[in-house]
Chain A
Amino acid sequence: MSAAFVPHRMAFVRALRRLLGKPLGTFLSALVVGIALTLPALGYMLIDNLGSLANGMTGKPEISVFLNRNVDQAGISAFENRLRTDKRVSALRFVSRDAALKELAARGAFADVTGALPENPLPDAFVLEPVGSDPAVFESLRVSLTAMPEVMHVQLDSVWVERLHAVVELGQRTALMLAGLLGTVLIIVTFNTIRLQILTQRHEISVSLLMGATRGFVRRPFLYFGFLQGMLGGILAWGLVEILILVIAPHVQTLARTYNIVVDLHGPNAWQSVSLILFASILGWVGAALSVRRHLHDGMVD
């Protein structure tokens, strides 16, 4: 090991010794940090899950075109040909009114109703996918479709997907703001822990400075201490998130089943876990640095 690292290794060892010297206090401080971080981390994970659900939906809208009841078979074919030549349309699917009724009947709850109807009330319809993802194209397509005489109603099915994306984004922002607030809690906790340490080690610090210790020498173990305590808190938060997700996953799946959605609730991936722990460590370091700056000064020599 290079000589330049020796003081750092020594400071690291001293910080580690201070941490291990008071296991209960260390654990409690780390737990405060851990719990403070669990809330935003868990929120972020749930939003992340919702996000992947939303991404599973094609962001491309489908446009449903319902035809007038009086359009006959020839009219439908002519209409279909016109759509096929339109360059704004990338895919096209015809849903006949009979097929639509069968599909509706297949959805349990509507079976009785469809059986009771004297005739099929549903219109023939086309479901088409527009080219690209430019909202202006969707809109122009919607306008020209609505203007066609065969068309009864045009429905852009992208609205709810857009809403879901908006909700996910809102949730992500909220989680980030919460992380910011509770990150401050972490800084304050570390700040205070270090303040108490400096107070209890006042005598040792003053003698060390008198013997020619540099400020860096005195400061370093506290910084490492803050870093390690933050890291411990981060690891605890990560563990708590994993456990909580395991606990709520079955309940979410039960809920999702009632909406006919399959949800695979996942915990943080490797990158997210490392980020969480690193985030906590860095905040611990910052808290310690602020505290050392505030409480450690040369006036301590006498």
Chain B
Amino acid sequence: MIRFENVSKLYPGGHEALSDISFEIRHGELLVLAGHSGAGKSTLIKLIAALEKPTAGKVWVSGQDVGALRQNQIPYLRRSLGLVMQEHRLLNDRTVFDNVMLPLLVTGYPPRDAAKRVRVALEKVGLSEYENSMPQTLSGGEQQRVAIARAIVNKPSVLIADEPTAHLDPAYAREIAALFRSFHAAGVTILLSTHDETLFSPYGARRIELAKGRLQA
């Protein structure tokens, strides 16, 4: 599904964020990417979504060489991924409903079906009654759940989340973790990074650990 082949990422200025990374996420797997902040977790996720290009090695997503994609192919790669970034990146001038609608709007989904899908996604994260609220009136955990609803509304085959439980109280964090667990149970491939791997250890998830840009055995 997603495969890293001897991937390195060197930023201008000489900082090597990732060095010689190789691993694979198979279909239907839940993979936890562990490591301290600054270990290169965010960079690794950015490489998958073509937000960055590897300086060496190859990143494969569903058989596509991400680094070799043309500019006009990148949107279609991103549509196949459900992305939850570190900051939830909601649009504060729109309702929860419109925020979740955004990926469908962007892909030109027929509006009537789109509304149905948005409601399904909001129901899955337990926010049905908040569809007309503005994001800023919600708690941090609820905002994160809106971001997750937005990531799954397109029914992506892979869900990728960068520190989805960062900045959350332990209770909210456990809720979010349970949510990902339920998606995984429903057959979605998941890659998520966290510095608090105890959250996912009860689910028997496979884990890989990054330290200073290198994979730990």
Contact present for A203 and B71 (CB under 8 Å): no
A215, CB-defined interface residue at 8 Å: yes
Binding site for B on A (CB under 8 A): 6-7, 10, 203-204, 206-215, 217, 298, 301-302
Smallest CB separation, B121 vs chain A (Å)? 13
Scan residues 71-91 of chain B and give those whose CB is less than 8 A from a CB of chain A: 71-72, 74-79, 83, 85, 89, 91
Chain A neighbourhood of B41, CB < 8 A: none
Chain A neighbourhood of B150, CB < 8 A: 211
A selection of 14 A-B contacts at a CB cut-off of 8 Å is A10-B108, A209-B78, A210-B51, A210-B78, A210-B89, A211-B78, A211-B79, A212-B76, A212-B103, A213-B75, A214-B72, A214-B75, A301-B51, A302-B51
Q: Which residue of A lies closest to B102 (CB)?
A: A211
Contact present for B83 and A210 (CB under 8 Å): yes
CA distance A203 to B94 in the complex (A): 12
Contact present for A215 and B71 (CB under 8 Å): yes
> Which of A6, A10, A212, A215 is in CB contact (< 8 Å) with B78?
A212
Contact present for A213 and B106 (CB under 8 Å): yes
Smallest CB separation, A259 vs chain B (Å)? 64
B107, CB-defined interface residue at 8 Å: yes
CA distance A199 to B102 in the complex (A): 20
Instruction: Tell me whether A215 and B72 are in contact in the complex, defined as CB-CB below 8 angstroms, given that A207-B89, A207-B102, A302-B46 are known contacts.
Output: yes
Scan residues 105-133 of chain B and give those whose CB is less than 8 A from a CB of chain A: 105-108
Instruction: Tell me whether A212 and B89 are in contact in the complex, defined as CB-CB below 8 angstroms, given that A207-B102, A298-B71, A302-B51 are known contacts.
Output: no
CA distance A204 to B99 in the complex (A): 10
Smallest CB separation, A37 vs chain B (Å)? 34
Smallest CB separation, A120 vs chain B (Å)? 89
Instruction: Tell me whether A203 and B46 are in contact in the complex, defined as CB-CB below 8 angstroms, given that A208-B106, A210-B78, A214-B72 are known contacts.
Output: no
Contact present for A210 and B49 (CB under 8 Å): yes
Smallest CB separation, A128 vs chain B (Å)? 73
CA distance A1 to B123 in the complex (A): 33
Chain B neighbourhood of A207, CB < 8 A: 89, 91, 102
Binding site for A on B (CB under 8 A): 46, 49, 51, 71-72, 74-79, 83, 85, 89, 91, 102-103, 105-108, 150, 154
Contact present for A212 and B91 (CB under 8 Å): no
CA distance A22 to B72 in the complex (A): 33
Smallest CB separation, B69 vs chain A (Å)? 12
Chain A neighbourhood of B102, CB < 8 A: 207-208, 211
Instruction: Tell me whether A7 and B108 are in contact in the complex, defined as CB-CB below 8 angstroms, given that A212-B78, A298-B71 are known contacts.
Output: yes
Number of A-B contacts (CB under 8 A): 51
Smallest CB separation, A121 vs chain B (Å)? 87
Chain A neighbourhood of B79, CB < 8 A: 211-212
Contact present for A212 and B51 (CB under 8 Å): no
Q: Which residue of B lies closest to A206 (CB)?
A: B89
Chain A neighbourhood of B71, CB < 8 A: 215, 298
Contact present for B85 and A210 (CB under 8 Å): yes
Contact present for A212 and B75 (CB under 8 Å): yes
CA distance A71 to B80 in the complex (A): 104
Chain B neighbourhood of A6, CB < 8 A: 108
Q: Which residue of B lies closest to A214 (CB)?
A: B75
CA distance A58 to B154 in the complex (A): 74
Smallest CB separation, B79 vs chain A (Å)? 4
CA distance A215 to B72 in the complex (A): 8
Chain A neighbourhood of B154, CB < 8 A: 212
Closest 7 CB pairs of A and B: A212-B79, A212-B78, A213-B106, A211-B103, A214-B75, A212-B75, A211-B106
CA distance A203 to B90 in the complex (A): 9
Smallest CB separation, A160 vs chain B (Å)? 63
Chain B neighbourhood of A214, CB < 8 A: 72, 75
Smallest CB separation, A221 vs chain B (Å)? 12
CA distance A211 to B46 in the complex (A): 13
CA distance A297 to B107 in the complex (A): 19
Instruction: Tell me whether A203 and B91 are in contact in the complex, defined as CB-CB below 8 angstroms, given that A212-B75, A212-B106, A298-B71 are known contacts.
Output: yes
CA distance A266 to B88 in the complex (A): 62
Smallest CB separation, B74 vs chain A (Å)? 8
CA distance A212 to B51 in the complex (A): 11
CA distance A214 to B105 in the complex (A): 12
Smallest CB separation, A296 vs chain B (Å)? 12
Smallest CB separation, A283 vs chain B (Å)? 28
Q: Which residue of A lies closest to B156 (CB)?
A: A212
Smallest CB separation, B200 vs chain A (Å)? 24
Chain A neighbourhood of B103, CB < 8 A: 211-212
Smallest CB separation, A12 vs chain B (Å)? 14
Chain A neighbourhood of B108, CB < 8 A: 6-7, 10
